[in-house]
Structure 1
Amino acid sequence: MNKIKWVLVFCICSFLGFSQNNSDNKPIENLSSLAKVWGFLKYYHPNVAKGDFNWDEQLIQMIPKVEKAKNKEELSAIYLEWITNLGLVKECKSCSGISKKEYFDKNFDLSWINNSAAFTTELSHKLKFIEANRFQGENYYVTKTSGGNIKVRNEIIYGDFEYPDQNHRLLSLFRYWNTIEYFFPYKYLTDQNWDSVLIEMISKYRYANDALEYQLLMQETVVKLDDTHASFFSDKNFDFFGRKYIPAFINVIENKAVVVGFYNDSLAKLNDIKKGDIIEEVNGKNALEIMLERKKFVNGSNNNTKAKNYDYLMFNGSTDSVKVKIRRDNLVFVKNIKRYSGIDFQPKILINKEKFNIDENNIGYINLDNLEMKDQDIIMQKVNKTKGLIIDLRNYPDFKAYLIARRLIKEDKEYARLIEPDLTYPGRFNFKKTKILDPIKKEYYAGKVVVLVNEQTQSMAEYSTMFLQAGDNVVTIGSQTAGADGDISRIEFLTFKSAISGLGVFYPDGTPTQRVGVKVDILVRPTIKGIQEGRDEVLEKAKEYLAK
């Protein structure tokens, strides 16, 4: 009998615990639905989308009502009354022609409208009616740039909101979440489903204890986009990670944290830091473990790109030095390395500071990072008779090298296909006209061409790689690129600035570039041994390929 009693007690407690968890989750579920309904009305309801309401204030007023709703009937009644007070929605005769358009719809998802567990049938029908008769004018809150990516506008600007009250913290999250929901071209590629990000972050934003925790949460939210362009700017976060740096930067090579370059040569020498040094511990903690712990704060489309972005999370601090355990050749030693403020640093040294050269084997080399737009014609004339040409894009040039790329083809070539947000149907994306490169036939370069890429090849550099790859005799050598193509769109939380990739970029055959990077024909990564010896192994491979 005692065993039976204990089983009954356990079952009752388990049931009560389950009920309690459901009760605790209900406000979060309600707030999640509010975020979606509020964002949907913001971009779809004709009277809201044209700016007739203080939409931030409307959300603040709705939060306490929605939190208290006990079931879907109460919740739906709140939303129905709200929608009624927004005014009449007229029939949209032009909205019915969508079947004739070719959409990119991998990001589009309004299925939540029909969630019978959350909404009554009446509310679902009302929301579907608004979708079918959505706003078709110039949206008050968002427009497009000349390039086609979005430009957020007319949002209320708040004053000192380092740590706003709970409701305004939720407003900050809901603003950002909905901008991504409807206008981020790569939402479908994130590791974590964007709906689950909302659920996770609502609890965290509600109960953030102070300004630092709140601002770190915003950075964590941005990182969940898995987009190298996705950035977040906060003084608190800089203070948390520290504003003083060691004079060297690292990358993950052969699964080890390795010094690959210097911010300042003389300061690195003063601290006895050498290229190829393996960083095993920082302040007594394993370097790779530090990376794993802080991964949620490091932006990047792929692990190859994240690896170079751990710099400031590993070595930054507010003290004047940091204790580092280093492995160099067969020696292992612990030493204190001085930290310096950013103003003491020069820019990262370039792999090669020359604009171009021609070696003894008649192979040309062009470093696009060192060129200006006006240099292209002159340099291409000088390398025109070489038997092979190397174009280095392990950098970020200030221009698009069209004048070089046009000399690598004999006839028109497609090189990219882009998508842009459709503001008449938020969440959907339109295909832009396929990008075509036309030749400069009289100055055709007949030799073989190698394009060099790595994790530093990002955005415009990746786009430049794509049209160089359209060349007749082009091979790409190197490693995975940053995987962040397309123009940047600037968006905000409340007062805090951020950025995202604003356009979707694909190869003409539909192959994506986001997260995966551009196509690489021959994979070559630097080795620890090569770094220690001061060799450029990627460039060596390119010359070896052309020599054959």
Structure 2
Amino acid sequence: MKKIILLFFLIIYSHGFSQVTISEVEKNKQFGLVWGLLKYHHPEISNGKYDWDLEYVNTSSSLDTIKNQDGMNAFLFRFISKFKTDKLKTKKLTTERLFVKNVDYDWIDETVFGKQLTKTLLEIKENSNKNNYYASTNKLAKMLSFDNEKGYQDFNYANKNHRLLLLYSFWNAIQYWNVNKYLMDHNWVSILHPMTELFINCNTKLEFEIAKSKLIAKLDDSHSYHLSDIVFDTLFKNKPYFSVKTISDSLLVTSIFNKSLAKKDGLELGDIITKVNTTDISTAIHEKIAPILSVSNKSFLNKWCNWLFYSQSDSINVAINKKNGSGKNQYIHLYEKYEVENPTYLWTERNDKWTLIKPDIAYINLDEITQKELKAVFKQIANNTKGLILDLRKNTKNIRESDLSDFLYPKNKEFIKVLFPMENYPSYGEYDGEAPLKLISNPFHSGKNNPDYYKGKVILLVNRRTQSKGEYIGMAIQQSPNCVTIGEQTAGSVMNIVSYRMPDKTEVYFTGLGGFYPNGDEVQRKGLKIDYNIKESTKNYDPELYIKEAIKIIEN
């Protein structure tokens, strides 16, 4: 009897739910989800047989007539039925390296879509007969490619369906192909409802471009910088005549590019700004910059602190602690244009490629040094120094990881594990994947048999500017036997960059592979492991602090 009553209530609930009025946002969101599932899972659609962007635009125009979930389910079922499903196949994916943390099809919910539509969606989801027209991987590098995303002809931001096409095109590409999706702050599916609402309600070109920036910012990836000209030229029209550095939630004035303008405001090198428009610095950065700029972590977000002074207004209120200890609130002027006049700097960065900081301690700036120069340096310092400081705070332009590991390792060894996307298997990844040409040259191993490797202490210097290739090389350096890493959290965007062309032909970038230490610890978002965190101070700022701390570690 209890089972009959329960079944009765379930039927009543299901019938009542299906008759509830469905919102414009929900209708479009559901169609965007189904359209994306078909794009990457249906045999013929994933083969590029249809103009899939055009299908979206033409079909979505009929959504306005739908009133409830029953009507929506019927609409979706008719849409799917236009495309043959007789070639669907099911093949279980088995591999010991299978990575499943990005798999998320929970949105296919029978309580929403009903039994018939849900069954069809699950059959498409389970289909193993997929093709790679829209997302493929390079055979020599396993890197993701979206080469057939050419943009939508005659894209018009003023057309709601065009804007939503852009949203769902990009959202589904990330949903099924971004191997680092599981590391985002927000569940990617959960952002689709508010983003749909945002894109529906764009009334101007500026609002549309801001919406795009907010969408891309949700990637939480320091590789995904995007800010269109109209956003920058409108919201960030006026600029400061100085630059600052974030230290302990304050801003240190490090450069002045026009002395006359600085004198007008009474601003000096070494001044400490503690508030902007009565808001503390950390809050101001998160409120103004974080919503529109994709970053992997707070450390890299702080790199963009100068943007706090980019504004539509021609002045900004700040709280300043002067070098003499006094404090005050005042307005600082901002300018659309100004001339660089007698620029001054709080300190001058080192530009020597290498030097003996002490007779028995060598310093190498990895920014500019070449492979040939590096070889000569190691030959000179191999037997007469007890410590080596490798400065990776400005990344490196001219060397590879092997140029260092050949001198730092006693033998060839693994320094990185890589997570690859799996072609024809949306959402799945291959963890600890093998490089296609590993028998010729394995990019995930480095070093060589070298009994004369450098045996002194190796100190690696990193900061928030250490990113991408710099982090990759840093991981290799860290696997040397005597390495200690000091500094601050790095950018957290190691590995290669993937490009995706949106329907309006905007190029968007994100990290295409996952990077892990040999023990499995993640580097994406977290950045390089730090053995000693450097705590800089705005008061009596010391630009040589990193190097002084490195010397202490070597000498102790």
Q: How far is 1:182 from its partner?
A: 0.9
Give the residue type in structure 2 aligned to 1:246.
P
- What does 1:494-509 correspond to in 2, within 5 Å? 494-509=504-519
Distance change (3 Å), C-alpha of 1:323 and 1:358: same
Q: Which range moves more in the overlay, 300-309 or 348-357?
A: 348-357
Give the residue type in structure 2 aligned to 1:425.
Y
Give the residue type in structure 2 aligned to 1:461.
G
- Look up the match of 2:9: none
- Look up the match of 1:371: 369
Determine helix, strand or coil for the equivalent of 2:32: helix
- Structure ranking higher in helix proportion: 1
Determine helix, strand or coil for the equivalent of 1:293: helix
TM-score normalised to the size of structure 2? 0.86
Q: 1:535 aligns with which of 527, 543, 546?
A: 543
- Look up the match of 1:433: 434
- Look up the match of 2:476: 467
For 1:474 and 1:510, how far apart are their aligned partners in 2? 19
- Look up the match of 2:382: 384
- Look up the match of 2:406: 406
- Look up the match of 1:221: 215
Distance change (3 Å), C-alpha of 1:338 and 1:460: same
Q: Does 1:479 align with 2:488?
A: yes
Q: How far is 1:273 from its partner?
A: 4.9
Determine helix, strand or coil for the equivalent of 2:190: helix
For 1:413 and 1:63, how far apart are their aligned partners in 2? 54
Give the residue type in structure 2 aligned to 1:377.
K
Deviations 1:293-339 (A, max 9, x none): 21312331111211121322x11246776565422231235364554
Distance change (3 Å), C-alpha of 1:273 and 1:473: farther
The 8 Å contact of residues 461 and 486 in structure 2, kept in 1 or not, is answered as yes
The 8 Å contact of residues 302 and 515 in structure 1, kept in 2 or not, is answered as yes
Q: Does 1:144 align with 2:165?
A: no
The 8 Å contact of residues 107 and 187 in structure 1, kept in 2 or not, is answered as yes
For 2:510 and 2:315, how far apart are their aligned partners in 1? 34
Q: 1:255 aligns with which of 249, 258, 265?
A: 249
- What does 1:310-321 correspond to in 2, within 5 Å? 310-312=305-307, 314-317=308-311
Deviations 1:71-120 (A, max 9, x none): 4443232222222211244254xx6251245211111112323x112212
Determine helix, strand or coil for the equivalent of 2:461: strand
Give the residue type in structure 1 aligned to 2:94.
S
Distance change (3 Å), C-alpha of 1:237 and 1:465: same
Q: 1:300 aligns with which of 288, 295, 299?
A: 295
The 8 Å contact of residues 410 and 451 in structure 2, kept in 1 or not, is answered as no
The 8 Å contact of residues 525 and 538 in structure 1, kept in 2 or not, is answered as no
Q: Does 1:51 align with 2:54?
A: no
Deviations 1:426-465 (A, max 9, x none): 1111131282223251541010101011111111111111
Determine helix, strand or coil for the equivalent of 1:39: helix
For 2:40 and 2:412, how far apart are their aligned partners in 1? 40
Q: How far is 1:35 from its partner?
A: 1.4
Distance change (3 Å), C-alpha of 1:442 and 1:297: same
Give the number of aligned pairs. Answer: 521
Distance change (3 Å), C-alpha of 1:393 and 1:424: same
The 8 Å contact of residues 20 and 68 in structure 2, kept in 1 or not, is answered as no
Distance change (3 Å), C-alpha of 1:342 and 1:236: farther
- Look up the match of 2:87: 90
For 1:375 and 1:164, how far apart are their aligned partners in 2? 56
Distance change (3 Å), C-alpha of 1:439 and 1:60: same
The 8 Å contact of residues 460 and 486 in structure 1, kept in 2 or not, is answered as yes
For 1:247 and 1:235, how far apart are their aligned partners in 2? 20
Deviations 1:147-169 (A, max 9, x none): 33322122343467573311111
Q: How far is 1:285 from its partner?
A: 6.1
Deviations 1:36-72 (A, max 9, x none): 1111111111111111111112112332444544444
Deviations 1:474-512 (A, max 9, x none): 111111111111211112332322211111111111110
For 1:362 and 1:289, how far apart are their aligned partners in 2? 45
For 1:426 and 1:445, how far apart are their aligned partners in 2? 45
The 8 Å contact of residues 246 and 302 in structure 2, kept in 1 or not, is answered as yes
- Look up the match of 2:165: 171
Give the residue type in structure 2 aligned to 1:352.
R
Determine helix, strand or coil for the equivalent of 2:481: coil
Determine helix, strand or coil for the equivalent of 2:93: helix
Q: Which runs of 5+ in 2 are unaligned?
A: 1-15, 436-443
For 2:73 and 2:273, how far apart are their aligned partners in 1? 57
The 8 Å contact of residues 88 and 124 in structure 2, kept in 1 or not, is answered as no
Q: Does 1:188 align with 2:151?
A: no
For 1:438 and 1:342, how far apart are their aligned partners in 2? 50
Deviations 1:269-297 (A, max 9, x none): 77765453212344676555532421312
Deviations 1:148-199 (A, max 9, x none): 3322122343467573311111111001101110111211111111111101
The 8 Å contact of residues 49 and 135 in structure 1, kept in 2 or not, is answered as no
- What does 1:13-32 correspond to in 2, within 5 Å? 26-32=23-29
Give the residue type in structure 1 aligned to 2:381.
V
For 1:485 and 1:174, how far apart are their aligned partners in 2? 27
| Identity of matched residues, % | 28
